[in-house]
Amino acid sequence: MPLASYIEGMKIQGRLALFSLCSCAISLSAFCQPSGRVLMIGIDGVRPDALQVAETPALDALVANGYASFDAMNDDITISGPGWSAIHCGVRSGKHNVVDNSFDGQNYFQFPGWLERLESLHPEWNTLSVCQWSPINGQIVGNSADVVVNPGSAAGAAQEVVNALENGDPHALFVHLDEPDYAGHSYGFSPSVLPYLESIEEMDAEVGLMVEALVARPMYAEENWLVIVTTDHGGIGTVHGGNSIEERRVFVIASGLGVDTELVAPDTLSVLGVAENCLGAMPRLFFQGNARAVVPESNDFVVGATQDFTVECRVKTTQAADVAMVGNKDWDSGLNPGWVFSFVYPSGPGWKVNVSDGSSRVDLEGPPIADGEWHTLSCTFDRDGVARIYTDGVLSDEQDISGLGSLDVDGRLFFGADALAGYGMEGAVAEVRYWNAVLSAAEIADWHCSELTDLHPSLAALRGYWQLNEGAGDFLEDASGLGHHAVNEGGVWGSDEGLVVWDYGNTPRLVDVPVTALAHMCVTIEEEWGLDGVPLLGTCFPPTPDSCSEDLDGDGAVTVTDLLLVLGAFGQTCTE
């Protein structure tokens, strides 16, 4: 069936399903609603905002015919091991005990996965688990599914599912596709990163092939299928594992016959006013994904092992993540030579400066600043003494750096992302100042919230000054007069706006996913299981006598006796 016909096909199959349910009234023994079947699709590392930007006709069709939320939450550890454990077991890390990808200490004996629960209760049902990332099968699923396969590609994984749907009689299938996570780590988890969007679109094509094979099954309507699609985590820059909203926000889709169309969004908790900027309202350069500004190579920014220097900047962000706000280094490792303004790993809340000569590193930590307000961040580097960082003109930390050697990389500077266009921040940078001297504490305090003029006591030591207030274009003037003009690479010009604070209390959690699958298959969720999740679509249990109007004699099943009762009343007049 062509993908474009999916929505209309769902409507047609819905009418067939209605006929099937009505037919239970004349069967010899039938419940009024059959237990369902489930195809669960996990796509690793997909940010919902990127999913909404990408061209995804297959997933769009599922959303249009079912329950969906692009504001679901991984409210635990944003790493694959804990994430997929929650999606399979319905509990958080405090119960399944998985805190990283080593799976050390896992407690799947007490909290098994949903496929293992199905096999325990219904060994006659056929189950399949196909995972591109093999630890899901190796650690979580184990031998609990009838068929366990670890293909080497997403296309191979999807084809395994297509083959099972076309040639077998599966009741529950799980498939894991890994390409977006690879792309995110390589290029960046962001809706503005083209390779990342392309990987999501490639996964959508695989979803389309699996759904087409599912809908084409001869008994599709009678089998009462539910398609669930979700992800384990998002990401920021080229990493995940922290607590930023970009890493925690995920998506959940549940589509099938009889599922009401519903889009679940967060509630507005509060709206904060426009951030106050002591330098006045003016255009600002906002960075997202791996957008950045680059200052060309110059000896003015070469410091060797002895040159003192000071860096100051203004920053506005709401994301305390493992990013490079201002620096000269490759931030893939804190031991890489150079310096960078970032956040305490992995997700703050405090900001920090890292400095290294390639063999030793020093880190200085400041207070939280990711509050949507403008802050001035300063660091002085006294090469035979200490480095000091200041937050809004106030000393935050100092550390000895006299033992460090050369901090040089290639004489360039970067704002918004690192030297390799990775670890991009989400927010604005302004008023970047570079000095070849150590500014005093008084100078930093007096000038942290003032535009630079010729009255500054150390003006002769200024080597670069980028206000980043042009308002348009990619040319970023160096106001020091030394000609170190920067180039904007993907930053967007804008103005300060109010900050909306969202309440995600009503949106789904990853632990809800397996419980939803079990409930659709009419598995009673026992209280003693201790699950943290809840079924998103209600439950599907064999009905009690009161819930089935065709069960006239109240024995819990529609039988010949009920048919005889109907025939016995044939021809009688109905009166009130």
Query: What is the predicted pLDDT for the residue at 238?
Result: 86
Question: What does each C-alpha distance from 450 to 270, 372, 455, 461 come to in angstroms?
Answer: 31, 20, 11, 18
Confidence of residue 312 (pLDDT cuts 50, 70, 90): very high
Query: Mean pLDDT, the chain, as a whole number?
Result: 89
Confidence of residue 456 (pLDDT cuts 50, 70, 90): very high
pLDDT surpassing 80 at residue 390 = yes
Taking the mean position of all CA atoms in its chain, how far away is CA 23?
Answer: 44
Assess whether 137 and 90 both reside in one domain: yes
Tokens of 10: 């769902």
Query: What is the predicted pLDDT for the residue at 1?
Result: 42
Question: What does each C-alpha distance from 19 to 14, 15, 255, 258 come to in angstroms?
Answer: 9, 6, 20, 13
Number of neighbouring beta carbons within 10 Å of residue 524: 12
Q: Look at residue 398 and give its three-state secondary structure.
A: strand
Listed residue (177, 213, 149) closest to 40, CA to CA? 177
pLDDT surpassing 70 at residue 547 = no
Assess whether 228 and 371 both reside in one domain: no
Query: What is the predicted pLDDT for the residue at 3?
Result: 53
- Is 571 a domain residue? no
Distance between CA atoms of 281 and 527, rounded to whole angstroms?
A: 57
Listed residue (175, 164, 220, 252) closest to 36, CA to CA? 220
Tell me what percent of the residues of the chain surpass a pLDDT of 70.
86
- Give the 3-state secondary structure percentages of the chain, helix then strand then coil, rounded to 5: 25, 25, 45
Assess whether 436 and 537 both reside in one domain: no
| Cis peptide bond prior to 346, omega within 30° of 0 | yes
Of the candidate ranges 23-27, 76-80, 423-427, the one whose mean pLDDT is the lowest: 23-27
Q: What predicted TM-score, i.e. pTM, was given to this entire model?
A: 0.66
Tokens of 90: 């319905």
Full DSSP string of 493-547: EE----EEEEE-TTS-BTTHHHHHHHHHTT----GGG--S---BTB---PPPGGG
Query: What is the predicted pLDDT for the residue at 574?
Result: 52
Confidence of residue 20 (pLDDT cuts 50, 70, 90): very low
pLDDT surpassing 60 at residue 487 = yes
Residue 268: exposure state from Cβ atoms within 10 A (0-12, 13-18, ≥19): exposed
- Is 576 a domain residue? no
Segment 535-545 mean pLDDT: 66
How many distinct structural domains can be found in the chain? 2
Confidence of residue 25 (pLDDT cuts 50, 70, 90): very low
Assess whether 184 and 250 both reside in one domain: yes
Q: Look at residue 195 and give its three-state secondary structure.
A: helix
Query: What is the predicted pLDDT for the residue at 31?
Result: 37
Q: Do residues 137 and 150 touch, judged by C-beta distance below 8 A?
A: yes
Tokens of 212: 């087409």
Confidence of residue 237 (pLDDT cuts 50, 70, 90): confident
Assess whether 405 and 540 both reside in one domain: no
Query: What is the predicted pLDDT for the residue at 400?
Result: 98
Confidence of residue 347 (pLDDT cuts 50, 70, 90): confident
Query: What is the predicted pLDDT for the residue at 10?
Result: 52
Assess whether 495 and 508 both reside in one domain: no
Query: What is the predicted pLDDT for the residue at 562?
Result: 65
Query: What is the predicted pLDDT for the residue at 570?
Result: 60
Determine the Cα angle at 462 with ends 458 and 464, to 5°. Answer: 155
Q: Do residues 342 and 363 touch, judged by C-beta distance below 8 A?
A: no
Confidence of residue 157 (pLDDT cuts 50, 70, 90): very high
pLDDT surpassing 80 at residue 319 = yes
Q: Strand runs (DSSP E) across 30-135, as ranges?
A: 37-43, 66-73, 127-131
Assess whether 343 and 224 both reside in one domain: no
Distance between CA atoms of 249 and 113, rounded to whole angstroms?
A: 23
Q: Do residues 396 and 367 touch, judged by C-beta distance below 8 A?
A: yes
Tell me what percent of the residues of the chain surpass a pLDDT of 90.
74
Assess whether 317 and 465 both reside in one domain: yes
Number of neighbouring beta carbons within 10 Å of residue 150: 18
Q: Do residues 297 and 411 touch, judged by C-beta distance below 8 A?
A: yes
Number of neighbouring beta carbons within 10 Å of residue 242: 25
Confidence of residue 6 (pLDDT cuts 50, 70, 90): low
Domain assignment of residue 238, given as a range = 3-18+36-266+504-547
CATH for 388:
2.60.120.200
Tokens of 359: 């063999």
Assess whether 370 and 513 both reside in one domain: no
- Is 257 a domain residue? yes
- Is 568 a domain residue? no
Confidence of residue 501 (pLDDT cuts 50, 70, 90): low
Assess whether 289 and 418 both reside in one domain: yes
Of the candidate ranges 166-180, 209-223, 494-508, the one whose mean pLDDT is the lowest: 494-508
Residues with Cβ < 8 Å from 278, sequence gap 6 or more?
374, 449, 450
Assess whether 476 and 536 both reside in one domain: no
Q: Do residues 478 and 433 touch, judged by C-beta distance below 8 A?
A: no
CATH for 218:
3.40.720.10
pLDDT surpassing 90 at residue 107 = yes
- Is 439 a domain residue? yes
pLDDT tens column, 178-212:
999 999 999 989 898 999 999 999 999 999 999 99
Distance between CA atoms of 478 and 379, rounded to whole angstroms?
A: 20
Q: Could you give the angle at which helices 194-215 and 179-187 cross, rounded to 10 degrees?
A: 180
Residues with Cβ < 8 Å from 197, sequence gap 6 or more?
50, 53, 54, 191
| Cis peptide bond prior to 180, omega within 30° of 0 | no
Distance between CA atoms of 461 and 453, rounded to whole angstroms?
A: 13
Parallel, antiparallel or unpaired: strands 66-73 and 249-256:
antiparallel
Segment 142-161 mean pLDDT: 98
- Residue 239 DSSP symbol: B
pLDDT surpassing 90 at residue 62 = yes
Q: Do residues 443 and 457 touch, judged by C-beta distance below 8 A?
A: yes
Query: What is the predicted pLDDT for the residue at 544?
Result: 43
pLDDT surpassing 90 at residue 272 = no
Assess whether 236 and 171 both reside in one domain: yes
